[in-house]
Structure 1
Amino acid sequence: MHGEDTERPHDGGDSATGGGGSPGYRHDALVYDDVDQLTAIAAPWLLEGLAAGDAALIAAGPATTGPLREAVGRDPRVVVVERHTLYRARTPSAITAFRRFAEEHAAPGRRLRVVGETDYGTTAADWREWQAYESVINAALARWPLWGLCVFDAALPAPILDSVRRTHPQLVTAAGRTVNADFLDPATYLRTLPVPDDPLEATEPALDDDVSDHTRLRHAVRGLLGTVDGPDDVLEDFLMAVDEMTSNAVRHGSLPAGLRLWTAPGRLVATIRDSGSGLDDPFAGYGPAHGDDLSHGGMGLWLARQLCDHVAIRRGADGVSVRLSTSWS
């Protein structure tokens, strides 16, 4: 597949300023044993920021948000956001939301401080999506005036806690803020992050076809989805995502190319594959390929990431495949 949809977000790090002399992104992790430990560290950090002119936001689970609000004295300057409006949205939407919050709340020359608690979900595909997100935002938010203190319960599964150490440049404890020696460059981390198999891929697909005749294939996909008992908006979003990816394969990929699509109660999975060597940018699809100017196109993978629950790119000796999956209850 061609790299049309492979905008790499702006690189960044923990420098004091980003582009244009404005405060750039800082991305810290706090792994806590109990909520008292969390509030003892996070609450003073938020209050110190307010005193210095920073804005403050909490986007965490209820077990964290309530005690933290009490610890900052229910200061009305601390904005509270229900975290599922951010973290259970698709990953590009979460990036866009944090950029918007920073633009709306950070004063000139200051940052928006965020205590954030990512919801990693319950499946291997969920975990992979949000593990990648925590790495991507080091680049995607680099120019925005944000300081994220990501908080993680020490009882989370070991693979998630390992990813925390790989994706956050700084660690915070009661002793202070330190450089994280285990942090990996985002491009390196994303290229080595495994893509878990989906159990449906080991079964017979409901549709297995080449993509040479894109119009005919689209009709076949629409016909198949018409037999699926699911919400109309979810099915239409999935059709659009498949259409975008098969269109990319036709226009920019190398033949042979094909589509496989599986259906199961409450789930859809599709893989679009071609014989090329494109899509080698690990940041592909986390923003439109040509930045904010959407008139140039390059939105296919970016749209797919917003239309589906999970998007995974796999590369091998025989080509590239994009797996789309979505579910409903």
Structure 2
Amino acid sequence: MVDWAGLPSDRYLHDALIHDGPDELAATAVPFLLEGLAAGEAAVVVTRDETATVLRDALGSDPRVHVLDRDDVYRARTPTAITAFRRLAEQRAAEGVSRVRVVGEVDFGETERDWLEWQRYESVINVALGEWPLWGLCVFDAQRLPDPLLETARRTHSCLTGPGGRRPNPEFVAPADYLRSLPVPAEPLEETPPRLWARDVGDFVGLRHAVAAELSTVVASSDTVEDYLLAVDEMTSNAVRHGGPPVSLRLWVGADRVVCTIDDRGPGFDDPFAGYGPAHGEDLSRGGMGLWLARQLCDHVDISGDDGGARVRLTVRLG
């Protein structure tokens, strides 16, 4: 039996359960939720349907356990998922609940490119949720998930748990180190001539019209186009304000995605946590929101660079 008692309730705890099937899942996750309820804490399940069914059956449909739609939380972009959990903690705190226990199961997506965003997320939340009264028990099905995602579980959770107990994880990697170790994937479109290339950005209005003209040719919803145009605007403005000249922009339109890179020749960029929350909390009037907005408006945001400058690559899927 895992001893869940006596652990601090005023900061985020991030545990991983790597299980081999429903019995092992229920043997650990059910006591985790029930002991939280007995202590006056909230219990929430955000998993795929099969996992939620196992837990519901084992709990006897206890009405105190709230099951949320996983697509509403995890298939949103990663900063939105972080915001969702913060709001969940705020709502329960307003009701007098000291902590929220969450059994969560990330939907990593189908491709390695999709995996990367959620691999980043699993590490980022150690910091982004660090001061929030949440306890996450992230479940990973060893029979279903590929080895790279099981490796992510081991490297991004400070404790591992199972029917045999809860223990510190010797494979845990400090979040900043883990995030910097992840690759910036190659983008084949970058090997082709861009649809648009502004080599020295100076005329923002003209550039916006030029980007909008190219985006008007893609088959996508107006919301997708407008969101992407806003992300490009924000990141180009950031590069001009915080980077060094010249700032350049290249845009590619592929069959299934649009890609834009913004380069500057400033001092580079080395904050792996930037953009996973607003820079100044809820005060949107203070600026510093560009990267946070871009991460919410784009499917992929990749940042690279060195002493010679920084590059931001924005990708949105079409269709």
SS where residue 74 of structure 2 aligns?
coil
Do the aligned residues in 2 keep the contact of 1:230 with 1:266 (CA within 8 Å)? no
Q: Find out whether 1:24 has 2:14 as its counterpart.
A: no
Tell me the number of residue pairs that the alignment of Structure 1 and Structure 2 aligns: 311
Query: What amino acid does structure 1 have at the position aligned with 2:37?
Result: L
Pick one of 262, 274, 279 that aligns with 1:272.
262
- What RMSD in Å do the two structures reach over aligned CA positions? 1.6
Counterpart in 2 of 1:141? Answer: 129
Q: Find out whether 1:91 has 2:78 as its counterpart.
A: yes
**Which aligned pairs between 1:1-329 and structure 2 lie closer than 5 A?**
16-17=7-8, 23-106=10-93, 108=96, 110-154=98-142, 155-210=144-199, 211-329=201-319
Distance 2:119 2:202 in 1: 35
Distance 1:166 1:277 in 2: 30
| Matched-pair identity in % | 59
**In the TM superposition, what whole-angstrom CA distance separates every residue of 1:105-140 from its partner, at most 9, and x where no partner exists?**
256472111000001112232111111111110111
Distance 2:74 2:147 in 1: 20
**In the TM superposition, what whole-angstrom CA distance separates every residue of 1:19-51 from its partner, at most 9, and x where no partner exists?**
xxx621100000111122111211121111111
Distance 2:155 2:269 in 1: 23
Compute the TM-score of the two structures, normalised by the length of structure 2. 0.93
SS where residue 38 of structure 1 aligns?
helix
Structure 2 residue runs of 5 or longer lacking an equivalent are 1-5
Deviation at 1:76, TM superposition (A): 0.6
Query: What amino acid does structure 2 have at the position aligned with 1:50?
Result: L
**In the TM superposition, what whole-angstrom CA distance separates every residue of 1:208-256 from its partner, at most 9, and x where no partner exists?**
1122222211110001001111111111100000010111112221112
Do the aligned residues in 2 keep the contact of 1:128 with 1:195 (CA within 8 Å)? no
Structure 1 residue runs of 5 or longer lacking an equivalent are 1-14
Do the aligned residues in 1 keep the contact of 2:105 with 2:139 (CA within 8 Å)? yes
Distance 1:278 1:318 in 2: 6
Q: Which moved more, 1:200-209 or 1:230-239?
A: 200-209
Q: Which structure is higher in RCO with an 8 Å CA cutoff and minimum separation 6?
A: 1
Distance 1:153 1:268 in 2: 33
Compute the TM-score of the two structures, normalised by the length of structure 1. 0.91
Distance 2:243 2:64 in 1: 51
Query: What amino acid does structure 2 have at the position aligned with 1:60?
Result: T
Deviation at 1:328, TM superposition (A): 3.4
